[in-house]
C-alpha cells in the first residue's frame, strides 16, 4: 500500500466521485490523503482489514474534514472536534487517526479499534482514518495541521447559549450595581448579541 498526499488530484476512482458529490462550491481544499494499493492481491482484498487500511481517503477542507471509507463517507467540522490523535493497536501496528466529536464521543482503545473492523462499527464511529506504517512520518505534519485547525476553530467558536445567558446576566448585574451606564449597558449587550 502507498499513501499519496496532495491536492484533489491524488483522489482516484470512487473516492474522487464521492468527494465531488460532498464538496460545497465555497469550500477550499487544503490537502487530501489517499490510500492506494497499486498492485492489488485479489485474494487478500477479500478481507475487511485490508479493505479498511488500503483504501479510503481523508480530505481536509477549510472548515471540515471528509472521511471516505469503504462503507461510506462522513464529515465533521473542526469546531465539533473534542479530541484527535494517532493510535496503533498492539497486535495490528496500523496507525489510525482517531477523532472524537461532541456527537461521537467514543474514545480510542484496542477494543474499539478491533471493533472497527466491521461495517456497523464503521458507521457507528466514522471519524477515523488508517494509513500505512511506512507513511507515518509523511502524514504527521498534516495531522499537526488538522490539530491547528481544530484549535483555531475553537477560539473562534461563538459562545454557546449557556455562555450567552451567563454573560447577559453578568452585564445586567453590573448595570444594576451602577458599574455600567445605560448607554454602556446597551452597547455591551448589542456587541454580545452581534447586532
pLDDT score for 121: 64
pLDDT score for 195: 56
H or E segment to which residue 83 belongs: strand 81-87
H or E segment to which residue 192 belongs: helix 182-193
Please answer whether residues 72 and 122 qualify as being in contact, where contact means their C-beta atoms are separated by less than 8 angstroms: yes
Place of cell 465555497: 26
Percent of the chain with pLDDT over 90: 29
pLDDT score for 137: 87
Q: Which residue has the higher pLDDT, 121 or 87?
A: 87
Domain boundaries, the chain: 2-155, 161-193
pLDDT score for 157: 60
Nearest-5° angle of CA 142, CA 145, CA 150?
Answer: 130
Q: What mean pLDDT value characterizes the chain?
A: 79
Nearest-5° angle of CA 24, CA 30, CA 31?
Answer: 110
pLDDT band at residue 156 using 50, 70 and 90 as cut-offs: low
Please answer whether residues 72 and 34 qualify as being in contact, where contact means their C-beta atoms are separated by less than 8 angstroms: no
Q: Is 183 exposed, middle or buried (0-12, 13-18, 19+ CB in 10 A)?
A: exposed
Q: Terminus-to-terminus CA distance in the chain, angstroms?
A: 53
Please answer whether residues 108 and 87 qualify as being in contact, where contact means their C-beta atoms are separated by less than 8 angstroms: yes
Arch. (CATH architecture) of 2-155: Roll (2.30)
pLDDT band at residue 142 using 50, 70 and 90 as cut-offs: very high
Question: Which residue, among 16, 127, 141, has the nearest Cα to 77 in the 3D structure?
Answer: 127
Phi, psi values for residue 99, rounded to 5°: -120, 130
Compute the average pLDDT of residues 134-148. Answer: 91
Compute the average pLDDT of residues 64-76. Answer: 89
Amino acid at each position: 500500500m502507498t499513501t499519496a498526499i496532495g491536492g484533489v488530484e491524488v483522489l482516484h476512482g470512487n473516492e474522487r466521485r464521492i468527494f465531488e458529490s460532498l464538496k460545497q462550491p465555497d469550500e477550499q481544499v487544503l490537502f487530501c490523503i489517499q490510500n492506494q494499493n497499486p498492485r492489488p492481491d485479489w485474494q487478500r482484498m477479500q478481507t475487511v482489514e485490508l479493505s479498511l487500511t488500503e483504501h479510503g481517503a481523508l480530505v481536509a477542507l477549510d472548515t471540515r474534514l471528509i472521511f471516505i471509507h469503504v462503507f461510506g463517507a462522513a464529515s465533521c467540522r473542526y469546531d465539533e472536534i473534542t479530541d484527535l490523535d494517532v493510535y496503533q493497536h498492539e497486535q495490528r501496528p496500523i496507525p489510525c487517526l482517531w477523532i472524537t466529536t461532541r456527537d461521537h464521543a467514543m474514545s480510542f482503545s484496542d477494543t474499539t479499534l478491533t471493533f472497527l473492523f466491521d461495517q456497523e462499527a464503521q458507521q457507528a464511529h466514522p471519524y477515523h482514518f488508517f494509513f500505512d506504517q511506512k507513511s507515518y512520518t509523511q502524514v504527521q505534519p498534516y495531522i499537526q495541521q488538522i490539530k491547528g485547525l481544530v484549535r483555531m476553530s475553537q477560539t473562534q467558536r461563538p459562545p454557546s447559549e449557556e455562555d450567552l445567558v451567563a454573560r447577559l446576566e453578568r452585564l445586567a448585574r453590573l448595570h444594576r450595581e451602577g458599574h455600567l451606564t445605560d448607554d454602556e449597558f446597551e452597547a455591551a449587550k448589542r456587541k454580545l448579541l452581534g447586532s
